[in-house]
Structure 1
Amino acid sequence: MSKTPGKHQKIIILLIFLITLGPFGFAYTLYKKGNKAQLKLNNHGDLITPVINVEKNQAISGEQLLGKWWLVYVGPKNCRLECHDMLYNLKQIRTALGKDTPRVERLFIAHPNCDKSVCETFISDNYPDMKRITMPLADFNQLFAGLSQHFEREMVGEVYIIDPKGNLMMRYSADSQARDILSDVKRLLRTSKIG
């Protein structure tokens, strides 16, 4: 004597079906909606995909960058208070890393059209341990083309992270909070065994 499934058994079968296929339906809905805000990862900066290997750029020697993480500040055309604040914040971020401080260095890339004597003097007076690079306008534009708005880069500058393999892999606008950059750097150092 076989009994037909009761109401309770039908509910259990329906629940098993929903539990199995529910996540696929949810993922499909998110994919079709294209809601990037809901899909954003824990990082605060913008991931650069694909990463850009800076060794290919003549002005930046990859050998000097390999083996360490780099906080890179691409300076604006005119270094004003915002520029000075960001340089100070990068110093503080590195200091806040504690025992991981030796794994991270700082790099200033001057905008090709800035007054280099002012930039160089300010940085050498206030941040003598910060590495500095200048590059021709064509190389500068080629390296940073497509990563951000030209206007933003010229006016306020930007922050990038270079990994120990020489890859430009994360970008922050100049109005990013230092605590957000610090949070991302700490996460990178915690999860990375290189550098």
Structure 2
Amino acid sequence: MSTQNPRSQQAGQKPAQGTMRRQPAGKGSWQRGRWMMLLIAFVCAAPAIGAYIAYYVIKPTGGTTSYGKLVEPQRPIPESLVVTGEDGKPMKLASLRGHWLMVSVDSSACDTPCVTKLYFMRQVRATQGAERERIVNVFLRTDAGKVSDIVDSAYKDTEMLIADPKDVAAWLPVDDDGTRITDHIYMVDPNGNLMMRFPKDPDPSKIKGDVTKLLKYSGIG
């Protein structure tokens, strides 16, 4: 007769083949928590990813081109750039961050080329449909003269702001072939970075194409 303890026999037995082993307690919940953290991080990073695509998908390299010239490195709106609105109150231009800005610079007299730029900006914004609310058109006036009633009434959707021409010139670049600030339309992203300059005497349909891409691929503004 065997005197071996039955409990000893059970303790020495190996688990039957095919028996499922339990995962250590808490491992499954830890993995779920990790995936949740990764998902949250991706959602938070999505706007920045969209902005990156917006800048570089249309970059003029390879088979895809932009009509406007990308400004590299980007130039943030100077905190020192103070403008005056129609109400006569000063404010920082940087306070307009949060929207895409199409910017034109000219004298308050606004001759034919000036009006043409404002017209192109208005039409490009209007053709964006529901997305147009993401864009603010800005006319930076380099003097405190009066804007004509015709221009004022035709472009009610344009912010007409007086700015120091020296401050504006220090911020906005021109082409190497001798163009002036008043020759261009500029694009500023919702983070307040100047990121694109359109050529002199631009084709508005091509400006529209660039703006449409920027709004499509960017989740900001």
Contact residue 45 and residue 181 of structure 1 kept, 8 A: yes
1:43, 1:78 → 2: CA distance?
32
What residue identity is the alignment partner of 2:167? D
Question: Residue 149 of structure 1: CA displacement?
Answer: 6.0
| 1:40-88 deviations in Å (ceiling 9; x for gaps) | 8511001000111004342252553211111111226863222212211
Please state how far the C-alpha of 1:194 moved relative to its aligned partner: 0.5
CA contact 1:110–1:133 (8 Å) conserved in 2: yes
Give the equivalent residue in structure 1 for 2:212.
Answer: 186
1:75/1:153 contact within 8 Å kept:
no
CA distance in 2, matches of 1:140, 1:97: 28
Q: Give deviations 1:118-171, integer Å, cap 9, x for gaps.
A: x36444222122112222232122122x433696326x5310001000011000
Contact 1:123–1:130 at 8 Å: present in 2 too? no
Instruction: Give unpaired runs (5+ residues) of structure 1.
Output: 1-36
1:93 partnered with 2:124: yes
Deviations 1:71-114 (A, max 9, x none): 111226863222212211111111100010111110001234xx
Name the CA distance, whole Å, in 2 between partners of 1:83 and 1:174: 11
Counting only pairs closer than 5 Å after superposition, residues 41-60 of structure 1 correspond to structure 2 as: 41-59=64-82
Q: Is 1:170 paired with 2:191?
A: no
Match of 1:84 among 86, 90, 115: 115
Q: Distance in 2 between matches of 1:120 and 1:55?
A: 29
Pairing 1:8-19 to 2, within 5 Å after superposition: none
Q: Which position in structure 2 is the counterpart of 1:143?
A: 171
Aligned residue for 1:44, secondary structure, equals coil
CA contact (8 A) 2:109 2:145 kept: no
Give the equivalent residue in structure 2 for 1:116: 145
In structure 2, runs of 5+ residues without a counterpart are 1-59, 84-91
Give the match for residue 161 of structure 1. 187
State the identity as a percent.
Answer: 25
Residues of 2 paired with 1:74 and 1:175: CA distance?
A: 14
Superposition CA RMSD, Å:
2.7
CA distance in 1, matches of 2:95, 2:185: 19
Cα distance in 2 between the residues matched to 1:100 and 1:73:
20
Normalised by the length of structure 1, the TM-score is: 0.68
Alignment length, in residue pairs?
154
TM-score normalised to structure 2 length: 0.61
Whole-angstrom distance in 2 between the partners of 1:136 and 1:110: 8
- Residue of structure 2 equivalent to 1:106: 137
How far apart, CA to CA, are the structure 2 residues paired with 1:39 and 1:47?
Answer: 15
Give the Cα–Cα distance (whole angstroms) in 1 for the partners of residues 105 and 94 of structure 2: 20
Distance 1:109 1:40, change over 3 A: farther
Alpha-carbon contact 2:109-2:148 (below 8 Å) kept: no
- With over 3 angstroms needed to count, the CA separation of the structure-2 counterparts of 1:186 and 1:116, relative to structure 1, is same
